[in-house]
Amino acid sequence: MEESATIQCPFCGQAFELLIDTSLAQQRFTTDCEICCRPFEVTAECEPGEVLSVEVQG
């Protein structure tokens, strides 16, 4: 199950929605900012159907 979370780019500060798979309790992946296109790392903790926390690092 996927849930959306609002994250903020650590480089340009733009906020945007990201879909996170909540079937995994902990996950770490790289994504690109929709505005400045710079890659950054996302760490998420989830329970099935719910995003508990999301952190971004440049």
Q: What is the pLDDT of residue 42?
A: 97
Q: How many domains does the chain have?
A: 1
How many angstroms separate the CA atoms of 33 and 50, rounded? 23
Q: Provide the residue type at 19 as one letter.
A: L
How many angstroms separate the CA atoms of 36 and 48, rounded? 31
* Exposure string over 19-38, b if 16+ CB within 10 A, otherwise e: ebebeeeeeeeeeebeeeee
Q: What is the pLDDT of residue 33?
A: 95
How many angstroms separate the CA atoms of 25 and 18, rounded? 17
Low-confidence ranges of the chain (pLDDT < 50): none
pLDDT digits (tens, 9 = 90+) for 29-39: 999 999 999 99
Domain of 13 in residue numbering reads as 2-57
Q: What is the pLDDT of residue 7?
A: 96
Q: What is the pLDDT of residue 38?
A: 97
